[in-house]
Amino acid sequence: MNALYVADGAPPSLPGITDAPPTLDWWLLAPILVVFGAGVLAVLFEAFMPKKVLRPVQITVAAVALLVTFVLIVLQVEAVGDGVIVAGGVLAMDRVVLFLQGTIAVLALISLMLIAERRDGRDAFSAQAATVPGSEEERRHILAGSQHTEVYPLVLFAVLGMLLFPAANDFLTMFIALEVMSLPLYLLCGLARRRRLFSQEAAVKYFLLGAFSSAFFLFGIALVYGYAGSVNFTAIRQAVDAGGAEIFADGNGEPLLIMGIGLVAIGLLFKVGAVPFHNWKPDVYQGAPTPITALMASCTLVAAFGALLRVFFVPFGGSVAIWEPMLWTVAILTMVAAAVIAVTQRDIKRLLAYSSVVHAGFILTAVIASSTEGLAGAMFYLAAYGFTTLGAFAIVTLVRTRDGGQELGDLEGWAGLGRRAPGLALALSLFLLAFAGIPLTSGFIGKFAVFEAAIAAGATPLVVVGVISSAVTAYFYVRIIVVMFFRESEGEGPTVARAGALTGGVITVGVAATLALGIFPGPVLDNLLPDSEAGQEPAAVMVHQVTEE
């Protein structure tokens, strides 16, 4: 980092760069280190433990690690106060970050319940991913009961990336977090037990598109570095306020910044799945093993939006004029296009994927509001949506075809589910109504929060587009309810696997959270989210000062 010299040849004074070893606040780093340590430990177990005991051990390690992480995050709320910069300025810890990390930890723990669920001694993952689908070798592995316990360390590493992503205080850390989060997910996507070619195709697609988006992201970082002379968020913000690094004293550096913001935004919008960077979502959601889809739909979305909020509010908080028109376009495209395409979907997982894209559009309206209210609204929305979507995917894992017992994606086949499994159908109806934003569900409060922030910030046209899109999406949510309750099944209809304790638990938690956050959202809104003082800039509640001078 010594490439930038000003005219008089003196080395630039870069914030946070010193010869002294960084002081590490181990207490504040503990949640991340616990997950990391557990991941490493799990890899060692994988290598040295006998296969027989591996599965229960791995599940225990993962569950305990996530639980401890969550507890540590809760305990730190007091310690961070208004927010501190830790680990030599690479991580920012404030209450916003802790809320997102806590949400990720809880949602990951619930996803883990789905991942660990087994039916007839088989989980959702292929016996041996390295075998050719349909081959004799694959059959031998299935009969021998082989399994991939590597799933658990992979999940832990993905969660590690997710915890780091929204906490990153400079672009390099953020990029590393992005890769740590994504690489295990690419792999996990290809491990489905059923329809393996489909799953592998999804993994390849996700990997290639993800690699492209990472490249965009990285190139954007380079351009921003060129403009600001630093990758540190605070330094970038100061540079933006000052009109660029010192070499841009003549004020001609702005194109660099515009391109930089645009490319960084592409990387982040890809991860949240906003149109036109959403194409991976339906394919990947459909192809991946459903528990992994649930993990991605809840935790990854929270992490990606957490990072997006930080990037747009902290380093680029001073250049709202540059990114606002761009996000307006993306948000409108996302809400309209995804809603329209979703209407034509016939597969439940693809439909939920498009629904997730539409929801990303709604959350973007809160980003555009660029206020503390918007930040709080987006945070609430993410948590509420995470629980609901986990419940919905848990139900997807239970509805199966009559022959062979693989998951029944085709919605037409869901006819008569309301009669066959009324409890399950009711739970799914609740989740769908929450997605549609019907009052007394968490989805309504979330939607109200983001739309309120957007209108308060003067983005009323955007909200009008949002509600029109909501009306369209309501059509396909309600259509599922029609199929389940009002249509007789042709022939035998679907079978419903008995919900084990784990899957049942996930659905119960989903229902409870959807109702609790919908009827009594007060405690969460009042205690966990930043106070909404009208017109306050969101950076006011996101730590961004450099503490070590």
Partner 1 sequence: MIPWLTLAIALPAIGAILIWALPRVRTAAETESASARAGASAEAGGGGTAVKTRPAAKTGAGTASAENAKRIALIVSLATLALVVAMALNFDTATAGDLQFEEVYPWIPYFGVHFAVGVDGIALTMVLMSVVLVPLVILAAWNEHSDKEDGGRGYFALILALEAMMVGVFVATDVFLFYVFFEVMLIPVYFMIGRYGRGAERAKAAMKFLLYSLAGGLILLVAVIGVYVIGGTFLWSELTASGSALAAVDPATARWLFLGFFIAFAIKAPMWPVHTWLPTAAGSSSPGTAVLLVGVLDKVGTYGMLRFCLELFPSAVSWFVWPVVGLSVVSIIYGAIVAIGQTDMMRLVAYTSISHFGFITLGIFVLTPQAQAGAALYMVNHGFATGALFLIVGFLIARRGSSRIEDFGGVQKVAPKLAGVFLVTGLAGLGLPGLAPFVSEFLVFVGAYAFNPVPAIIAVVGVVLAALYILWMYQRTMTGPTPEKLSKLPDLSARETWVVAPLLALIIALGVYPQPLLNVINPAVERTVEIGADTASDTTNAEGDTEEGDEE
Which CB, 85 or 338, lies closer to partner 1?
338
Q: Which residue has the tokens 């037409």?
A: 412
Spell out the alpha helix ranges (H) of 437-492.
Answer: 442-456, 460-486
In sequence order, which residues have a C-beta less than 8 Å from that of residue 38 and are 6 or more positions away? 61, 62, 64, 65, 156
Q: Shortest approach of partner 1 to residue 452 CB, angstroms? A: 5
Given the rule CB under 8 A, which residues bind partner 1? Answer: 419, 433, 436, 438-440, 444-445, 447-449, 451-452, 455-456, 460, 463-464, 467-468, 470-471, 474-475, 478-479, 482, 485-488, 521-522, 525-526, 529, 532
Q: Nearest approach, Cβ of 345 to partner 1 (angstroms)?
A: 17
439: helix, coil or strand? coil
CB of 359 to partner 1, least distance (A): 15
Give min distance, CB of 212 to partner 1, in A.
Answer: 36
Q: How far apart are CA 35 and CA 159, in angstroms?
A: 8
Between 209 and 496, CB nearer to partner 1: 496
Closest CA to 114 of 127, 124, 122: 124
Pairing of strands 495-496, 399-400: antiparallel
Tokens of 85: 């910069």
Least Cβ distance, residue 331 to partner 1 (angstroms):
16
Cβ nearer to partner 1, comparing 228 with 529: 529
- Considering the complex, state which of residue 524 and residue 542 has its C-beta at the smaller distance from partner 1: 524
Q: In the complex with partner 1, which residue's Cβ is closer, 55 or 487?
A: 487
Cα separation, 35 vs 339, whole angstroms: 37
What type of residue sits at position 243? G
164 versus 445: smaller Cβ distance to partner 1: 445
Q: Using CA atoms, how far apart are residues 253 and 243, in angstroms rounded to an integer? A: 8
Is residue 404 exposed (0-12), middle (13-18) or buried (19+ Cβ within 10 Å)? exposed
- Helix, strand, coil % in the chain, rounded to nearest 5: 70, 5, 25
Q: How far is the CB of 432 from partner 1 (least distance, A)?
A: 11
Please, which residues have CB within 8 angstroms of residue 470's CB and are 6 or more apart in sequence?
362, 436, 437, 447
State the minimum distance, in angstroms, from the CB of residue 445 to partner 1: 8
Nearer to partner 1 by Cβ, of 40 and 471: the residue is: 471
Smallest separation (angstroms) from partner 1 to the CB of 509: 21
Q: Which is nearer to partner 1, 49 or 455 (CB)?
A: 455
